[in-house]
Amino acid sequence: MNELAGYHQNLGALLAADGIPLHYGDLRSEYHAALEGAILLDRSHEGRILLEGESRFNLINRMSTNELLGMSVFEGRPTVFTNANARILFRAMCYNLPGGLLMISEPGQGQALSDLLRRNIFYSDKVTVRDQSLTTAQFAIHGPNAGRIMGQFGVELPPPADCFAYEIALDRTNATAAQRRSIVGGHWVIICPAASALAIHRQVLRLGQPFALQPAGSLTYNTLRIRSGRPAGPELSPEYIPLEVGLWDEVNFEKGCYTGQEIIARMESRQRLAKVMVSLELTHLVNAPAAVYSDGKECGKLTSSAASPDGEIFALAVIKTAGARPGTVLEVGDARRPARVNGYAGLQPAFITN
């Protein structure tokens, strides 16, 4: 066990096998802190990859769905890596830092994404791939007070819809602060050297006390992300195409070739999707994965589900477009529990939502 994991345990955390806190003993308190104040999470299991060299943008641009050329310094954009059949391999948040292009992957995928990047470097490319997942730590602040807490570090807050990174000093150590898309209130991450992680976590907690900041674990995060309709591991898999799981704003339809482009472009030009991701309201918790039924016939899959400490049940499913209209009543699981479609999850195009 490393020093940071032991520190989390001293704060009351129950750890997962990878050392990331699952909770700190009071899920209700964590959940309401996220809704009303702010929470601090250890997200060090997300991969952190730094690309250096003049070909760094070209490498990512020819491999993934979004347009990364022309990013301003400190700007951030998400992108998706797909296979030749346009199925999702990885999703990453990219920031153009002065020292290189920083990529933040989904949990546990840093090594695999680094390997994919290295395999696709051409002989003439001038780029190096550095997996920094083990030499750095990553914390996340969520909640309505997240921006006010970041203001304590001298961060000039950008407009809410933008994703920007900043270089800050914490505990006399250089760190990177980056804004990400919200799942509840503001969403900021702090990336720092692993050797300084414990001291920085303590400093952030101390400076966040006036803003009701408290530590929280992955169980609270998972409930919040399902509640917000954000796809994660179960949805970001080779079973789905980015457009099917609400990632339309992470695909640039004007850029040049990338792996899987022809299929994605065809789906957009024909304005037809066989499946879409929706948010469901369940009367009983049904563990994912589970089949979803419409009029007695299987129409899709429940991909994520969670019960909040207040008894609410949140769920995501990828189902046939015909059954995805808000208000549609479906059935889920072997017991055929009733489920009501609350709405489309993620970003969907006008031809689906109209």
CA 285 to chain centre: 23
For the chain, percent of residues with pLDDT exceeding 70: 98
Mean pLDDT to the nearest integer, 43-51: 97
Kindly report, residue by residue over 190-229, the tens digit of the pLDDT. Answer: 999 999 999 999 999 999 999 999 999 999 999 999 999 9
160, pLDDT greater than 70: no
Quick: pLDDT tens for 113-148.
999 999 999 999 999 999 999 999 999 999 999 999
Chain segment 219-257, per-residue pLDDT in tens: 999 999 999 999 999 999 999 999 999 999 999 999 888
**pLDDT over 60 at 161, yes or no:** no
- Alpha-carbon separation of residue 24 from 34, 41, 108, 354 (angstroms): 14, 11, 22, 43
**How do beta strands 290-294 and 186-193 pair?**
unpaired
Q: What pLDDT score does 349 carry?
A: 80
Whether 74 and 93 have beta carbons less than 8 Å apart is answered as no
| Res. 158 pLDDT band, cuts 50 70 90 | low
Buried b (16+ CB within 10 A) or exposed e, 35-65: bebbbbbbbbbbbbbbbebebbbbbbbebbb
DSSP at 347: B
**Angle, CA of 187, 339 and 227, to the nearest 5°:** 5
- Which whole number is the average pLDDT over 83-112? 96
216: nearest Cα among 204, 199, 227, 228: 204
DSSP 54-76: TTHHHHHHTTBSS--TTPPTTBE
Structure tokens at 263: 């299929």
Is the pLDDT at 310 greater than 80? The verdict is yes
What domains can you pick out in the chain, each with its CATH number?
Answer: 3-44+134-227 (3.30.1360.120), 47-131 (3.30.70.1400), 271-353 (2.40.30.110)
Q: What's the predicted TM-score (pTM) here? A: 0.94
Q: What is the pLDDT of residue 256?
A: 81
Closest CA to 53 of 135, 166, 129: 129
Q: What is the pLDDT of residue 159?
A: 57
257-295 pLDDT per residue, tens: 899 999 999 998 888 889 999 999 999 999 999 999 999
